[in-house]
Amino acid sequence: MALIIDGKKIRDHNLAIMKKEVEELNSKNIYPCLCVIIVGNDPASRVYVNNKKKACENIGILSREYALPTDTETSELLALIDKLNNDEEVSGILCQLPLPVQIEEKTVLERISPEKDVDCFHPYNVGKLVQGDAVLKPCTPNGIITMLDYMGYNIEGKNCVVIGRSNIVGKPMAQLLMERNGTVTVCHKKTIDLKNITSRADLIVSSVGKPKFLTADMVGEGAVVIDVGMNRDENGNLCGDAVYDEVEKKASMITPVPGGVGPMTITMLMKNTILAEKIKN
C-alpha cells in the first residue's frame, strides 16, 4: 500500500513560509507583484487565472489581471508585454495559455523579459536550466522536486523515468532530476518496449495526458509514481495517467489526482514571483 503524497498539505506548508517572506519584504517597502494576461474566454484558462489570483491574495502578493478580447492581435499583446516589462512595480509576467490561433505564441513568450518570466518559458531561462544555473525554475517540475524533498526522497543515484517530452513538463523535469544526480530516461510515443523501461524504474514521472495509460504491470514493486496527468475518465471524473487503484498497491509512494501535483504548480509560481522581486531589488 503506497504512501500518499498529499499535494495540498505540501502546498499549504510552502505557502505559509512564503507568506512570512512576503511580510518581511513588505516591511522593507518591497511588494512582489504578479501580472497575469488572459486572452479570450476559455473556461479552463479562467479557472486557472482565478486560482492564481486567489493564491496571490492568500500570501500577500499583489496581482494584476489583464483580460483581453479573443480577437486581440499579436502586436497588441506585445505592446502590453513591453509596457509591463518596463514597469518597475511588476515582478513577474504570465501569459495564460493557450492563446487564440491568430496570436504567435512563440513570439509572445519570447517577448517577456527573462527576469520577469515566472513561467520559465523564455529561451534564456531554458538555457540557464540546461546549464544548471537557473534561479527561476519551471513551475510543475520544480513543484515535483519540492514534493519529493518534503517526503524525504533522495533522488541521487535513482533510476528515474520521465514519460513525455513536452517543453512544459517532460524536458525540464529530466533536467531537474539530473541536477539531483538521478539517472534519467525520457520516454515518448516512439519509445520501444516502454513497459520494460518503466518496470525497472525507482521513480516514474508520467506526463502523458491519457487516462489509464500507466498500468500496474508497468510499475516495479516499491517504485515512486508521480502522476502529472489531468484527464477525464469515461464518467467525466478527473483522473491522472495511472490506473490509481492498481498502481497504488505496488508503489511505495504515489500522487493522487486531484490533490497531488496540481496544487504545487501555482505554489511554485508564487515562489518564482517572490524570487523575481528579490532579484530585482
Which pLDDT value is given to residue 131? 96
Greatest Cα pair distance in the chain? 57
**Domain count along the chain:** 2
Which pLDDT value is given to residue 32? 98
Whether the per-residue pLDDT at 1 is higher than 90: the answer is: no
Instruction: Report the DSSP beta bridge partners of residue 279.
Output: none
Which pLDDT value is given to residue 123? 96
Q: Would 280 be classed as within a structural domain?
A: no
Q: Would 270 be classed as within a structural domain?
A: no
Whether the per-residue pLDDT at 184 is higher than 90: the answer is: yes
What would the mean pLDDT of 145-172 be, rounded to a whole number?
A: 98
| Residue 241 and residue 181 share a domain | yes
CA angle 173/116/62 to nearest 5° reads 105
pLDDT digits (tens, 9 = 90+) for 38-61: 999 999 899 999 999 999 999 999
User: Could you tell me the CATH number of the domain that includes residue 186?
Assistant: 3.40.50.720
Q: Would 128 be classed as within a structural domain?
A: no
Percent of the chain with pLDDT over 70: 100
Reference 140, options 92, 172, 94, 184; nearest CA is 172
| Residue 251 and residue 149 share a domain | yes
Reference 205, options 153, 245, 249; nearest CA is 153
Cβ contacts of 4 within 8 Å, gap of 6 or more: 253, 254, 255, 256
| Residue 143 and residue 230 share a domain | yes
pLDDT digits (tens, 9 = 90+) for 189-215: 999 999 999 999 999 999 999 999 999
Structural domain of residue 73, as residue ranges? Answer: 29-115
Q: Would 152 be classed as within a structural domain?
A: yes
Whether the per-residue pLDDT at 241 is higher than 90: the answer is: yes
Catalytic positions, written as ranges: 52, 96, 119
- State the CB neighbour count (10 A cutoff) for residue 234: 8
For residue 117 the three cell numbers come to 518570466
| Residue 238 and residue 154 share a domain | yes
Which pLDDT value is given to residue 252? 98
| Residue 236 and residue 152 share a domain | yes
| Residue 111 and residue 153 share a domain | no
Whether the per-residue pLDDT at 138 is higher than 90: the answer is: yes
pLDDT digits (tens, 9 = 90+) for 78-102: 999 999 999 999 999 999 999 999 9
| Residue 242 and residue 144 share a domain | yes
Instruction: Determine the residue type at 203.
Output: L
Whether the per-residue pLDDT at 165 is higher than 90: the answer is: yes
User: Could you tell me the CATH number of the domain that includes residue 55?
Assistant: 3.40.50.10860
C-alpha to C-alpha distance for 38 and 208, rounded to whole angstroms: 25
Rounded mean pLDDT of the chain?
97
